[in-house]
Amino acid sequence: MSCKTIITGGAGFIGSHLTERLKAQGRNLILIDNLSTGRRSNVEALLDDKCKLIVQDVSEAFKDESIMDNVEEVYHLAASVGVKRVVDDPTGMIQTNIHDTTLVLEAAAKANAAVLVTSSSEVYGKCPILPLREDMELVYGPTTASRWSYGMSKAIDEHLAIDLHRNRGLKSVTVRLFNTIGPRQVGMYGMVVPNFVQRAVRKQTINVYGDGKQTRAFCNVRDITRAMTELMASKKCYGEVYNLGSTVEITMNDLADMVNTIADSDQGKQHIPYEEIYGKNFEDPMHRLPDTSKVEDAISFKPQYSLEDTIKELVALEQKSLEEELVS
């Protein structure tokens, strides 16, 4: 019987793009997604006898040990996403991230399957040294600020994967994802680019949180999923942690201006204090930039899609969506 690949969070933003890539490579796929943030429509056209969607929580799906029958690799993407969800329900996020990751890693170790764990740039907390390198110390705020709980939970996930690799030979690869953008990403959980694009296309003023001088580096999801599959294919990457993202910085003010220009919107931007959105004492790092030299050395990683081209694609898709809304 042919070997299978499991993708947890397979109907989500990144998961659906990974599904497309692996299906094109001829993999037999099992997607596990509770559709809390993922959408069946993201993968509907891909579903067939070699690509099946199980609509369940990861914790429920992995109670059935047969889920790992003939599974060769697991991409563990399922997690709580977005700053707003983290601030609104830190306890649920912590339980989901740590408990579900433990189940997936234990199952992979028992089945001798390779597993890729998606961590986050949030593990760096508010480390002031840039660019951020995988072996740097992690710097967090107080536990009374729930903002930092997401990064802490992801750091625990990394520890679990590394420990199982060292002590039980788990074939694990961990990737710290920086700001990833592309088609099918939604803005309702605080994702900046889809929010900017949606408002600009609808000729509404773009809301920029804070003073807009904070910088981020955005990478196209297609570059990210390509790197994921290449890292999993390389045995020398087992037990390692890699930053994945772009190294081209942009301020939120400049990003808003770029989106408005591409969308041909003259509505400009306005600045909104963080506390109006996330409550008092919310902290957001002014800068977050990855050092990608390690992943470059491992798989010659280099993003192929520019930020401007990605924004153009997203604006075109949003314009099409708006036209369809108006017709209906």
pLDDT of residue 81: 73
Catalytic residue flag (residue 75): no
- pLDDT tens across 123-150, in order? 999 999 999 999 999 999 999 888 899 9
Instruction: Give, to the nearest 10 degrees, the angle between helix 192-201 and helix 307-327.
Output: 50
CATH no. for 4-181+221-244: 3.40.50.720
Q: Are 222 and 181 in contact (CB under 8 A)?
A: no
**Among the listed residues 247, 243, 236, the one whose alpha carbon sits nearest the alpha carbon of residue 133:** 243
pLDDT beneath 50: ranges in the chain: none
254: alpha, beta or left? (left if phi > 0; alpha if psi -120 to 50): alpha
C-alpha torsion angle, residues 298, 102, 151, 130 (rounded to 10): -20
Topology (CATH) of 192-216+248-287+305-327: UDP-galactose 4-epimerase; domain 1 (3.90.25)
Q: Are 117 and 75 in contact (CB under 8 A)?
A: no
The Cα–Cα gap between 21 and 24 comes to 5
Catalytic residue (choose from 75, 124, 150, 209) = 150
CA distance 38 to 182: 14
Q: How far is CA 148 from the centre of its chain?
A: 17
State whether residue 248 is helix, strand or coil: coil
Cis, bond preceding 290 (omega within 30 deg of 0): no
Assess whether the region 4-181+221-244 and the region 192-216+248-287+305-327 belong to the same CATH fold.
no
Structure tokens at 246: 């772009």
Query: Domain locations in the chain?
Result: 4-181+221-244, 192-216+248-287+305-327
Q: Which of 205, 119, 113 is nearest to 164 (CA)?
A: 113
